[in-house]
């Protein structure tokens, strides 16, 4: 473990599993250091004032007040450091997350739909295109209201957990069926509000295999604390096998390139 990783553990940051997450952690570290310096600096100044301006030594109040400029300089320095944190770290990070979405066939797409008090993951299947969903079709058997007539939806499937592949970018589209939830993926340093009537994308790249809990990050009702989900990052091979296993009624025209993978999975 490197020194930054050790510091992260000491300040209680959770395990990191995404590519961009170290930038988030780095920013948190900088904020911690700045606040630590401020705490120590102002504490020393406070004690100094208690001693320096004690009543015994200053029987009469000075109406002129401070004549030096030290405190002004310190305040300007604090503003400058805060500006560096915001402009140098927060803005660039946010710009990439909000505008530079990955494209191409390698990007894993998932829709994460929240409801009281669970998540349902909707995968588009091998065609990479989601079938239509309609609120009026929602029923016990059809929790997301998938349209059975839509050809794009034939190979779609639902899953209770968020499953991703290591080293592959993913776009998770978050929405809600009832109230505001929040899909918080702490190891990925990602979170997105799930807002009824709207959809919001978030993207990241997992760099570590593993299985973690996901948290609902918005107080969403009496069962909020039990709204625990799971996220698993698999290797590419395991992910492909899992994807194939969950895809319903595979289309007859299967490409021959897949056959070797299939044999491997069987053995």
Residues near Cu ion (CB under 5 A) are 181, 216, 220, 227
Place of tokens 């990925």: 188
Is 61 or 222 the residue whose CB approaches Cu ion more closely? 222
Nearest to 220 by CA among 193, 243, 200, 240: 193
Phi, psi of 152 (to 5 degrees): -65, -20
Closer residue to Cu ion, CB minimum distance, 11 or 199:
199
Place of tokens 């909707």: 122
Which of 16/110 has CB closer to Cu ion?
Answer: 110
Shortest distance in whole angstroms from residue 197 CB to Cu ion: 16
227 in Cβ contact with 43 (< 8 Å): no
Q: Please say which residue, 111 or 181, places its beta carbon nearer to Cu ion.
A: 181
- Least distance CB 194 / Cu ion (angstroms): 8
Residue 216, classified by CB atoms within 10 Å of its CB into exposed (0-12), middle (13-18) or buried (19+), is buried
Q: How far is C-alpha 53 from the chain's CA centre? A: 50
Shortest CB 226 distance to Cu ion, Å: 9
Q: C-beta of 142: minimal distance to Cu ion in Å?
A: 21
């Amino acid at each position: 473990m490197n020194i930054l990783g050790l510091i992260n553990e000491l300040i209680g940051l959770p395990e990191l599993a995404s590519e961009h997450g170290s930038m988030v952690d780095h920013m948190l570290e900088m904020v911690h250091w700045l606040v630590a310096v401020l705490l120590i600096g102002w504490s020393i100044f406070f004690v100094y004032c208690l001693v320096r301006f004690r009543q015994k030594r200053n029987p009469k109040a000075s109406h002129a007040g401070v004549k030096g400029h030290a405190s002004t300089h310190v305040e300007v320095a604090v503003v400058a450091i805060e500006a560096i944190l915001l402009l140098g770290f927060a803005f660039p990070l946010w710009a990439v997350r909000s505008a530079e979405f990955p494209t191409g066939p390698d990007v894993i797409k998932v829709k994460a739909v929240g409801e009281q008090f669970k998540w349902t993951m909707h995968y588009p299947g091998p065609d990479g295109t989601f079938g239509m969903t309609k609120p009026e079709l929602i029923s016990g058997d059809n929790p997301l209201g998938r349209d059975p007539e839509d050809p794009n939806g034939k190979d779609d499937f639902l899953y209770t957990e968020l499953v991703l592949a290591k080293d592959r970018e993913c776009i998770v589209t978050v929405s809600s069926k009832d109230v505001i939830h929040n899909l918080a993926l702490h190891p990925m340093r990602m979170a997105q509000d799930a807002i009824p009537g709207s959809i919001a994308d978030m993207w990241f790249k997992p760099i570590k295999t593993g299985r973690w809990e996901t948290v609902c990050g918005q107080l969403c009702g009496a069962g909020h604390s039990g709204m625990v989900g799971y996220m698993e990052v698999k290797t590419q091979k395991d992910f492909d096998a899992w994807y194939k296993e969950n895809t319903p009624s595979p289309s007859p025209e299967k490409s021959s390139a897949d056959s070797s993978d299939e044999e491997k999975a069987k053995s």
